[in-house]
Amino acid sequence: MVIRAIGALFGAAATLIGRLRYAQKFVVVGLVLLIPLGFVAAAYVGLQRNQIAFSAKERNGVAYLAPLVALAARTAQARHVAVTGDRAGVPLDGEIAAVDAVDHRLAPKLGTGDAWAATRGLVVAAHQATGAASARYEAYNTAMQALSDLIVRVGDLSNLTLDPDLDSYYLMDTLQFRLPVVLDNAGRAADLAVLAAAAPATAGTQALIDLGLTNGVLAATRATMARAVTTITATTAEADVRSRTGASFDRLNSAITRLTATLTTAVKDRRPAEIPADGAGAVQAAATDFAAQAATSLDRLLEIRIDGFSGRADRVELATGLAALLAAYLFVGFYLSVAPPIRRIVATLHAVAGGDLTQRVAVETRDELSFVAQALNETVAKTEAATNRLAQEATHDTLTGLPNRVLALDRLGQALKRGRVSVLFIDLDRFKPINDSLGHHAGDQVLIEIARRLTTVLHGVDTVARLAGDEFLVICTGAEVPENVAELIVAELSRPIVTGTGAAAREVTVGASVGIAYAHGSTELTPEDLVRDADVAMYRAKQRGRGRAEVFDDTLRTAVELRLRTQEDLRHAIGGGQIRPHFQPIVDGVTAAVVGFEALARWQHPTRGLLGPADFIELAEETGLIVPLGAEILAQACAQAVRWQRDRPGRRLSVNVAGAQLADPSFVATVSAVLGDTGLEPHLLSLEITETTLMADTEAAVETLRAIAALGVHLALDDFGTGYSSLTYLRRFPVEALKIDRSFVAGIGQDREDEAIVGMILNLSRALGLQVVAEGVETAEQIDQLRRWGCPLMQGFYFGRPMPAEQIEQFLEAPQPVLS
């Protein structure tokens, strides 16, 4: 099991590698390994370069911090001198100049120019301040705070606060954050001692509090620095850094310890005068020395880190370069060994792709390429044979051997360029029943015989083609008279055709309708246009009785144009308020009382006026617009029925449903939504479906109708007696009413067969417990006979024509016909 899984997983790789020679395997595998290795190496080198740039920026920050810390220390001394009242002061020019120089060099890289300019102004202003000692003290405090902020800013801008190594990080932390605090607070302690000694009692108390706070800051900072130095000496690998840092901090630690002890005693005894005036000097001197040592050590660690990054990047680049050279060397060898045969193979493939299937490739090698060449030659030979066969199949009908639509349109296009041409569009009249009743095998036999007859009797025409199904096309470009050719076709295809053999032999009659279209040398017509025109003419032949030929003329062209305009207008009419229901009354067969209405679609066209269903329903069905149109009529009719129920409750509404609506997957949901939106009770709605609609897909129709019936909606079978339904189908459908087709009602009193059919339908409905509506009732004679037969409901012009909703009230108020 495991072996099979491994084989399935690595089968493709094993197949690929197994077809290569060992040298080729080595080259391919080497390249597969080196390419990702190159990407990895490039990424690694890029990372090292980024780290170098990161650390170099840190070194810039260290270079900037060193003179800044020195300036902070000098400023603290100057503050003390200002507090003691020495007007000579401590010169700051040297330290300021040092920071000026480093800022001039590094400000473009770090972006510190504006911050240093502001801080420099505060330092100079404090140094030049006059007045009371306390005022000068506050000025220096402001300058010291600005220096501390700038030191922190430099650390942030130079990545020092993001340093990843413990030793360098703690050196940075001490230099950037701790030493400025020590320098400031040590000096502040001496300054506060002087101010406390000279201040009144209340101010002296505040000064002692400030001294205590300052002492606490110094003690806490010393402890933090001690932990940092311990971490540095424990983690750094540089002995010089360990010794320098430890020795320098020992001096600073001792100075801070002595100062904090003195401050503790002075604050405890409330004798600030015992704090020596130069008590902070030792701490500041040691802090300045430690800052210099820390900056040097930090710079050294960063330099070592940069050297490490550079060395690793150089080594990786060197190794990658050597690997690339080796790969290139091997690839060139591979190229020289296989490129010429491959070029010959590719040249042959290009020739084959260009349609030249006579080319063959010759490869004089003893490796696998020779097998490739042999396989290619065999494939080309087979392709040549298959292409010749497919060329025939692509342009000819496989069943009849006639040219197909593609070849027919191509030949028609060539004929149009030469001048006058005509086409005959042939559609068999009774072919579908043969397929349905005798099977597709019999249908194929009929099509083959039709093709044989056409090619036999029309041997002089340019092309006889089969377009699709039972549609054929004849192209005439010679001296033939298309009308004569069409008559010959109709006569020839009207003769019976024998299908099957032996006992299964059957004689069938098909017949054909023919449409003729002329080009008359027009350069504007395309082959598709001419075939379409002939198709339209053929449909007129169908409409005029079939088994005949019709010519496409200006009348048909006008009809086609009108049809296209009507189709476009209908798209805008649906949803545009132009499609409206008219209502025809349905009456009780005994009392003539109106029991309901049938909603019938009408189109209030903006220019053509009111159009009946004959003007647009068939077009709507063909274009698929019948689905939204039917939904709109259903919604309007149901809304109107709800309004009638308020004053005249109980009257039912009937609405016709087209086949496309019934087949639409959303039809049931549409009916349910309309009932919910309008509030019409489902039992007041009846949907009318024709037998032809049900027979199109009986299984789907049964499912849909059962879902409709489940909503509580009634179902009626419209135009009953004209379709092909059987009693078995009638029992399967959840139909509750039958509507006798108007053609049978019209024959009452004139045609005994029509009367027999009407009587049979009435007897059948009573036997099955179905309601019956007789449509097309127009005469009193028809009414009398229907009443004698016991027809319960009637509908027709005798009782009322379809009318808009606003006329219904007037109709109901008028006297109704009285049945004798």
Between the two ends of the chain, the Cα-to-Cα distance in Å is 92
Could you tell me where the DSSP H helices lie in 510-591?
527-543, 554-573
CB within 8 Å of 440: residues ≥ 6 apart = none
Token code pair at residue 779: 């005469």
Q: Which long-range contacts (CB under 8 A, 24 or more apart) does 320-323 make?
A: 320/37, 320/38, 320/41, 320/42, 320/45, 323/34, 323/37, 323/38
* pLDDT tens-digit series, residues 497-516: 988 877 778 888 999 999 99
Closest CA to 405 of 485, 489, 477, 463: 463
30 pLDDT higher than 70: no
- Decide if 701 contacts 662 (C-beta within 8 A): yes
CB within 8 Å of 813: residues ≥ 6 apart = none
272 pLDDT higher than 60: yes
pLDDT of residue 782: 93
**CA–CA dist 735, 467 (Å, integer):** 41
Give the three-state DSSP class for 754.
Answer: helix
More confident residue, 259 or 487: 487
- Decide if 107 contacts 61 (C-beta within 8 A): no
726 pLDDT higher than 80: no
**CA–CA dist 530, 350 (Å, integer):** 39
Confidence of residue 27 (pLDDT cuts 50, 70, 90): low
Handedness of CA 56, 60, 63, 69 (dihedral sign): negative
Ranked by mean pLDDT, the top range of 260-264, 316-320, 722-726, 792-796 is 792-796
Phi, psi of 551 (to 5 degrees): -105, 135
94 pLDDT higher than 80: yes
The amino acid present at 504, given as its one-letter code, is A
pLDDT of residue 725: 52
Phi, psi of 335 (to 5 degrees): -60, -45
Give me the residues paired with residue 739 across strands. 773
Q: What is the residue-averaged pLDDT of the chain?
A: 83
The amino acid present at 298, given as its one-letter code, is L
Q: What is the mean pLDDT of residues 276-297?
A: 77
Q: Which of 83-92, 287-296, 486-495, 599-608 has the lowest mean pLDDT?
A: 83-92
Give the three-state DSSP class for 551.
Answer: strand
**CA–CA dist 256, 675 (Å, integer):** 94
The amino acid present at 528, given as its one-letter code, is E
**Listing from the earlier edge strand, what are the strands of the sheet with 512-518?**
463-468, 471-476, 422-428, 512-518, 549-551
89 pLDDT higher than 70: no
Confidence of residue 491 (pLDDT cuts 50, 70, 90): very high
Phi, psi of 276 (to 5 degrees): -60, 145
Q: C-alpha angle with apex 418: 415 to 424, nearest 5 degrees? A: 35
- Decide if 303 contacts 168 (C-beta within 8 A): no
Q: Which of 72-81, 211-220, 545-554, 718-727 has the lowest mean pLDDT?
A: 718-727
Say which residue the tokens 């590698």 belong to.
17
Confidence of residue 47 (pLDDT cuts 50, 70, 90): confident
Query: Which is it for strands 471-476 and 422-428: parallel, antiparallel or unpaired?
Result: antiparallel
* pLDDT tens-digit series, residues 673-687: 999 999 999 999 999
Q: For the chain, what percent of residues have pLDDT higher than 90?
A: 27
Confidence of residue 439 (pLDDT cuts 50, 70, 90): confident
**CA–CA dist 188, 182 (Å, integer):** 10
340 pLDDT higher than 80: no
Task: DSSP for 264-286, please give it.
Answer: HHHHHHT-GGGS-TTHHHHHHHH
Token code pair at residue 713: 């909606």
Residue 629's Cα: distance from chain center in Å? 31
Ranked by mean pLDDT, the top range of 169-173, 361-365, 541-545 is 541-545
Closest CA to 331 of 118, 764, 29, 618: 29
Q: Which long-range contacts (CB under 8 A, 24 or more apart) does 438-444 make?
A: 438/499, 438/500, 438/506, 438/508, 442/499, 442/500, 442/506, 442/508, 444/399
- Separation in Å, CA 673 to CA 438, 584, 638, 704, 770: 44, 25, 11, 16, 28
Domains and their CATH numbers in the chain: 45-159+166-316 (no CATH), 396-552 (3.30.70.270), 583-601+626-807 (3.20.20.450)
Closest CA to 39 of 325, 320, 327, 329: 320
* pLDDT tens-digit series, residues 684-706: 999 999 877 776 667 788 899 99
pLDDT of residue 522: 58
* pLDDT tens-digit series, residues 386-420: 776 776 778 898 899 899 999 999 998 888 888 78
More confident residue, 251 or 437: 251
Phi, psi of 85 (to 5 degrees): 95, 5
628 pLDDT higher than 70: yes
E strand or H helix that includes residue 438: helix 432-438
The amino acid present at 731, given as its one-letter code, is R
Ranked by mean pLDDT, the top range of 7-16, 40-49, 660-669 is 660-669
The two counts, helices (H) then strands (E), for the chain are: 28, 16
pLDDT of residue 524: 75
Token code pair at residue 307: 């050297």
**CA–CA dist 719, 42 (Å, integer):** 82
779 pLDDT higher than 90: yes
**CA–CA dist 539, 549 (Å, integer):** 10
Helix 166-173 to helix 22-84 angle (10° resolution) is: 20
Confidence of residue 586 (pLDDT cuts 50, 70, 90): very high
Give the three-state DSSP class for 549.
Answer: strand
pLDDT of residue 820: 52
Closest CA to 560 of 534, 579, 541: 534
E strand or H helix that includes residue 68: helix 22-84
Q: Max Cα separation, the chain?
A: 145
Could you count the other beta carbons within 10 Å of the beta carbon of residue 604?
14
- Decide if 94 contacts 202 (C-beta within 8 A): no
Q: Which of 46-50, 302-306, 346-350 has the lowest mean pLDDT?
A: 346-350
E strand or H helix that includes residue 421: none
pLDDT of residue 801: 94
**CA–CA dist 528, 534 (Å, integer):** 10
Task: DSSP for 153-170, please give it.
Answer: HHHHHTTGGG--SHHHHH
Give the three-state DSSP class for 615.
Answer: helix
**CA–CA dist 241, 42 (Å, integer):** 34
- Decide if 733 contacts 701 (C-beta within 8 A): yes
Total residue count of the chain as it appears in this document: 820
Closest CA to 481 of 422, 540, 412: 422
**CA–CA dist 192, 208 (Å, integer):** 8
Confidence of residue 163 (pLDDT cuts 50, 70, 90): confident
Ranked by mean pLDDT, the top range of 43-47, 164-168, 576-580 is 576-580
Q: Is 521 left (phi over 0), alpha (psi -120 to 50) or beta?
A: left
585 pLDDT higher than 90: yes
727 pLDDT higher than 60: yes
Q: What is the mean pLDDT of residues 129-135?
A: 78
pLDDT of residue 18: 61
**CA–CA dist 416, 72 (Å, integer):** 100
pLDDT of residue 554: 77
pLDDT of residue 13: 67
**CA–CA dist 265, 281 (Å, integer):** 19
pLDDT of residue 275: 72
pLDDT of residue 459: 76
335 pLDDT higher than 70: no
pLDDT of residue 788: 92
Q: Which of 369-373, 432-436, 740-744 has the lowest mean pLDDT?
A: 369-373
Phi, psi of 665 (to 5 degrees): -60, -25
Confidence of residue 817 (pLDDT cuts 50, 70, 90): low
**CA–CA dist 700, 718 (Å, integer):** 18
Say which residue the tokens 């049964």 belong to.
702
